[in-house]
Structure 1
């Protein structure tokens, strides 16, 4: 196959995947998951510092998801058009700025603003990594090595799971502000690696121009998503107008994208790709369960069970270790159906175990729960990522990967809303059990949409 890349830093030839791209790919892609979960054990200390209840500190979670859910497909589309380098460097620089703002924040409002900046700043890493995988496959004429796909999934899933532990360590050493300061060296390293190793410019064969950016479509998509996510975080009668705005924006977005010559999201192609749509739906449901546990259960272990942020993080070490082991083990095998069924079974079992816990439960019961939750953490992320890689239009790999994250964070927003509604002013045991029932319903739905999806049986073996 003809080499489609122009000469660039890190371009070592056609023989095989350019592994010099792996470090910036991995570091860039984990900036979002680490910031998604490192905050989990910091919510209680931040609430104490500013006198804010869980219903207010929940916005620290939602702000990042709101920005990320909006930014991922937009940045992903820009990466499809112009290549990953410029978008990667700009976004990761913004992560460093957000780290400074959060570290110096005088109040909760500024902290929320810092989380919004983090959401937008971490948008480029994952779509850039997926686009690089696709471009390397085209350059070499071979599928990207399964080990690279597995490593990317392992990095994202296990970093997300390790976030509470890392947060506990940082809080123990330097207080909750250190969870924001962490982004300063991470962003510096990502920018440096990206500048040195990412391809310098887009292949001329693709001929992408600024005229292909669908700004009206992006604006309508933003209006639709923002109004929907604000409604999910503000479930009350007075917010009735938000779903109306969502429906109106969705209708206008649909009309625009069906008429646009170069749409932001090609609804004709997407609408005809039922397997990809099903994957997005599974991602939404899976992350309802995953993030409800990471935030809700962690808050309960601190407020009702009495653990410190550091020890709340330690309790989740088994989930971190099991998640890695599961990802590495199942990543060696082709197909996605078995991985998804394993993840579904793990989710359901873990939710049932949550219902048995009280503030008097022994510590080993919390550790067992963490072990069981490690199974879906390791299996689901890998399966969903691989599904998108094989199901998406190769010309829209970046935006398709961004949409996967959008649906995942829509699920996370639902989880955050469910957590805030279940706990109210205090993360008590009754609220934790209420949340577990919601998670169990989502887990059963995940199992159903997986078991009855015949397209999964036709997924590529590698």
Structure 2
């Protein structure tokens, strides 16, 4: 790759790291936010839910917008939206206002993820797995330093600083990307003539409404029932409403002319569906530990936010260090061997958690984190490479958005799992139960990765 390609990846990567940076920093802030706002663990977990639900909705929408209106325009607009949210969040007077800022922040960073990946896919024609690995370094690096930065900022100042720290990254990326990202091609005649009503139809506003209402209703019903330790008719109504709305959403997507999640297109390209299912499983495992272990370290082991952040560096640094090797490995041998190894490491890491006690050596904790970090780096590169190989050029923006949505759905499911298993207060017994459930998820990932390999061998033969 030439110098311009490297500068392009650096400029885009500085913006794309904002999403994992903010999701990782908040992991060490949960106990602090519980204390500040006097909320239980389940209620504070909405700081996670709000971010990932908004991302799950924004990613495919912004994927379509970038394909239609231009990737550079959407990327620069995403930087401005993220900047506004980061400036206002520290002054949130209530937890509700903080959630609104998190949602706005999520939308802005989702614009950066989908448009940024499409920009690299469009302007990098050679060694794409290597290019992916460079972007993954930015994202894995943000995840690696996020807990440490968050812990250090909270320990030194307060939780407000985890939002203010975004500002220099946004400003630097904005300046670089304005000059370095190639100019978008002229907007198509169709895009120029779109009215607001036509744009709402084009992004499937009804599908978005059904998806959002169904998912939020289901989450409220499940988490409220667990939080109150009593299942009332209101909880049952919310759960049933959520299931019905999500079922209606699926039926609507099959008939929609421009579906929010293009189920007909996914049916034509089953490899994309397999990639997203595997990626969702990976992120259920990864984020369940990502948000669960800091609470274990602070609540059970009584470590400070700073020391928790330092230990959590093991997870992100392991992923960061393996990523360049993963890119070269995938370029040389294809994505399947790396994905297989990642599945086995996640299974071993989940099983290792079951050996922990309230007084286990911190080295044992680091070993478990390292196993998951390496597996995460391998799976990210291999699955993104598979996505690029299986997606037609015309659908790359939508495919990138769906890939990010799979990540967000995995994070949402992991947060839901944590909320249900742990309830109001974090306990070591609940953490052990969480570990046992994660072993089952890891084994299912091993099964799907081997089944995927076998099906590909049949097709190749």
Q: Which residue of structure 2 lines up, in the alignment, with residue 429 of structure 1?
A: 428
Note if contact 1:336-1:456 (Cα within 8 Å) is conserved in structure 2: no
Task: Output aligned runs, 1:157-172, within 5 Å.
Answer: 157-172=140-155
Provide Cα deviations, 1:259-287, integer angstroms capped at 9, x if missing partner: x2x65554433211111100011111111
Counterparts of 1:96 and 1:307, CA distance in 2: 32
Alignment partner, residue 191 of structure 2? 209
- The answer to whether the 8 A contact 1:220-1:250 is kept is no
**Partners of 1:263 and 1:60 in 2: CA distance:** 28
Q: How does 1:86-105 map to 2 (within 5 A)?
A: 86-105=73-92
Shift of 1:445: 1.1
Q: What is the match of residue 249 of structure 2?
A: 249
Structure 1 residue 144: Cα displacement: 4.5
Please list, as runs of the form range in 1=range in 2, the aligned pairs for 1:10-89 lying within 5 A after superposition.
18-89=5-76
C-alpha separation between the residues in 2 aligned to 1:146 and 1:420? 36
- Conserved 8 A contact 2:261-2:402: no
Residues 203 and 391 of structure 1, relative CA distance in 2, 3 Å threshold: farther
How far the C-alpha of 1:296 sits from its partner, in A, is: 1.0
| Unpaired runs of at least 5, structure 1 | 1-13
Maintained 8 Å contact 1:26/1:152: yes
Specify whether residues 161 and 233 from structure 1 end up closer, same or farther in structure 2 by C-alpha distance, changes over 3 A only: farther
1:376 paired with 2:375, answer: yes
Write out per-residue CA displacement over residues 154-191 of structure 1, whole angstroms, 9 at most, x where no aligned residue: 22233224321221122122211111111222222222
SS of corresponding position for 1:234 = helix
1:115-134 equivalent positions in 2, closer than 5 A? 115-134=102-121
Question: Is residue 318 of structure 2 the alignment partner of residue 331 of structure 1?
Answer: no
1:295 and 2:291 correspond: yes
State the secondary structure of the residue aligned to 2:204: helix
| Structure-1 separation of matches of 2:261 and 2:363 | 48
Alpha-carbon deviation of 1:203? 5.1
> 2-side partners of 1:369 and 1:304: how far apart?
17
- Match in the other structure for 1:308: 304
Residue 231 of structure 2 corresponds to none
Distance 2:4 2:166 in 1: 29
Offset of residue 442 of structure 1: 1.3
Partner of 1:4: none
CA distance in 2, matches of 1:207, 1:148: 32
Deviation at 1:128, TM superposition (A): 1.7
Give the conservation status (yes or no) of the 8 Å contact 1:28–1:92. yes
Shift of 1:292: 0.3
1:68–1:123 contact (8 Å) kept in structure 2: yes
Following superposition, the deviation at residue 208 of structure 1 comes to 5.6
* Number of positions where the alignment pairs a residue of Structure 1 with one of Structure 2: 438
**Structure 1 CA distance for aligned equivalents of residues 255 and 458 of structure 2:** 33
Q: In 2 relative to 1, CA 393–348 (structure 1 residues): closer, same or farther, beyond 3 Å? A: same
RMSD: 2.3
1:115 and 1:456, CA in 2 relative to 1: closer, same or farther beyond 3 A?
Answer: farther
